[in-house]
Amino acid sequence: AAYQLPTPTKLISSPNPLTTQIYDRNGTLLYNLYEERNRTLVNLSDLPKSLIQATLTIEDRNFYHHIGIDPVAIVRALYHNTRNETMEGASTITQQLIKNSLLSPEKTYARKFKEIVLSLWTERIYSKDQILQMYFNEAPYGGSIMGIAAASETYFGKPPGGLDLAESAYLAGLPASPTQFSPYGIQP
């Protein structure tokens, strides 16, 4: 039972609840109702190219060229982390999706091993675009804000399709450390 892995097929129907949105008769958003997590789904095709490019540049430059893990990044991170030069991560977007959706955030070798196995498995089930879309819908953007749609509305008061380059770049950087980089955090 300790070695049992959740199936990546659960990614397509995330257990995370969605935000209920209440509009007036003219289509103006009046209220967002949510419990613990503010999350609204978005399609990859509705996102600006600048947001996608900024996210890939910051989070996983080789996303469209790897198999779910980036062995070069893993070796580089191990090298730097063991020499205490910097604390460097090596998680791909696929690994981050797995960690945020199917596993706990604990920092153990067992969890990391599960993350790697599930990432390889996920890449065999879903296309790269499907994985990227799921990532945008599950990524943490600070506090209770989950997913790019909720982040765009919260920080800029508009749907993600209306983000400009600067807004896209800002939001692309938040998942790396949402608490630290959030303007609503302890150190805005």
- The pLDDT assigned to 1 comes to 44
pLDDT along the chain (188 residues), means of 10: 67 62 66 60 94 95 93 80 68 92 81 90 95 93 87 92 95 86 70
Q: Which pTM value belongs to this model?
A: 0.79
**138-164 pLDDT per residue, tens:** 898 887 888 999 999 989 999 999 999
| 136 closest CA partner among 90, 94, 164 | 94
- The pLDDT assigned to 56 comes to 96
Q: CA end-to-end span of the chain, whole Å?
A: 42
- The pLDDT assigned to 188 comes to 67
